[in-house]
Amino acid sequence: MAIFSRRIPQRLIDQNAEFLSESETKRLVVRLNGPSTARGKDAIKTAMKDALSAEWEIVILNSFSKLGNVRYEPTLGGRNKPDLFFTPHSDPHQELIADVLAVSDEGLEEQYPVEALYWELIHELKKHRLNPNFFFLDVRAQKENSIEFRLPGLDRHKQTIFGPQFINFLKSIEAGRGQPCKFELMTDNAAIRISYNPGQTSTGYRHPSFTEPASVTQNRIYSRLEDKASQLRKTGFPGPRGIILCDTSCCIAPLGRRATMPCQ
């Protein structure tokens, strides 16, 4: 998924060719086209992520070139190379280096597999011939006034969530009580509530937002910035260093997410 329509990066690539070498331009173009040549799910995901980073690098390089001279990935005597070395027209003595950092929420859904747990619940309910529309999954925070939550790995759902206690919960419903009830599980690995209400018309699930940072310093953006800062310190450049933070679908959401739907 590109950030801009294809004609925009192409126009910027043509403009950037005035200060980039042919090999530098080719490297960026190869990264942009990576998803079309990658094979396999993991390779395609990696190529798409790198293509978005390359797209932002092209845009940032072009923007800086309007204000001064730009060198791309120069060797400055250290182990690492910065994305750009900038000398402003207004003051050639004020040189700086910078890295472009593109951030996203990629990987969070695997780390917090709420949707996968939900569909596994639906599967279990249908196995017992129960109407999924009468059930609701609530994944809860581990502590009060917190947004942090945990879930066991997909291969452990049967053992930790859909075990004997859950089966007894379903059997009590099958026995014909017909009254709203709930199954709650609070362990070190999971905090969930599965509610049964024969009066509701749609199933769904809810969970704390796993994209909202738990603190200023304990979040994926801060950790990525720390990594980039460490890389820039190893360039050998003694002057000002910067990090240009770019969004590739990184959602900072203030509320928990809720999904409801009729289930056939």
Helix (H) or strand (E) holding 242: strand 241-247
User: Is the same domain home to 172 and 223?
Assistant: no
pLDDT (tens digit per residue) in 219-248: 778 888 899 999 999 999 999 999 998 877
The answer to whether position 255 is within a domain reads: no
For residues 36 and 210, the model is more confident at 36
69 by Cβ neighbours in 10 Å (0-12 / 13-18 / 19+) ranks as middle
Q: What pLDDT does residue 248 have?
A: 74
> What sign does the dihedral 129-135-136-140 (CA atoms) show?
negative
Boundary of a domain, candidates 210, 229, 255: 210
Angle at 116 between CA 51 and CA 157, to 5 degrees: 130
Confidence of residue 57 (pLDDT cuts 50, 70, 90): very high
Residue-wise pLDDT tens digits, 110-146:
666 788 888 889 989 998 889 999 999 988 776 555 5
In a domain, 52, yes or no: yes
- Helix then strand count (H, E) for the chain reads 9, 9
Q: What is the pLDDT of residues 145-172, one digit of tens each?
A: 555 566 766 666 777 788 889 999 998 8
**Do 84 and 72 reside in the same domain of the chain?**
yes
Q: Indicate the pTM of the whole model.
A: 0.63
Q: Which residues fall within 8 angstroms of residue 225, CB to CB, at 6 or more apart? A: 101, 243, 245
Whether residue 157 is found in the same domain as residue 69 = no
What is the arrangement of strands in the sheet containing 96-103, beginning at the earlier edge strand?
68-72, 84-88, 96-103, 241-247
Strand intervals (E) in 34-120: 68-72, 84-88, 96-103
Task: Output the pLDDT for position 92.
Answer: 92
Tell me if 253 is assigned to some domain. no
The half-sphere exposure of 33 on its side-chain side, counting CA atoms within 13 A, is: 8
Assigned domain for 257 exists: no
Please give the structure tokens belonging to residue 10: 């192409």
- Does the pLDDT at position 99 exceed 80? yes
66 and 123 together in one domain: no
Q: Do 137 and 230 lie in a common domain? A: no
Mean model confidence pLDDT for the chain: 82
As a whole number of angstroms, the longest Cα–Cα distance in the chain is 82
> Is the pLDDT at 260 greater than 50, yes or no?
no
Instruction: State how many domains the chain has.
Output: 2
Q: Which domain holds residue 158?
A: 109-210
**In a shared domain, residues 116 and 203:** yes
Domain co-membership, 130 together with 150: yes
Residues 100 and 113 occupy one common structural domain: no
Residue in the structure block whose two tokens are 């060719």: 17
| pLDDT score, position 263 | 43
Amino acid occupying residue 165: Q
How far is 93 from 125, CA to CA, in rounded Å? 69
88 in a structural domain: yes
Q: Which residues contact 163 (CB under 8 A, 6 or more apart)?
A: none
> For 81-98, how does the pLDDT look when each residue is reduced to its tens digit (9 = 90+)?
999 999 999 999 999 999
Q: Answer yes or no: is 264 within a domain.
A: no
Same domain, 174 and 115: yes
- Whether 169 maps to a domain, the answer reads yes
Sheet holding 191-196, edge to edge: 181-186, 191-196, 135-139, 203-207, 257-261
Residues of the chain with pLDDT > 70: what percent? 80
Is residue 252 domain-resident?
A: no
Are residue 97 and residue 127 in the same domain, yes or no? no
Q: What letter would DSSP give residue 66?
A: T
Domain shared by 218 and 98, yes or no: yes
Same domain, 113 and 196: yes
Q: Is the pLDDT of residue 67 over 70?
A: yes
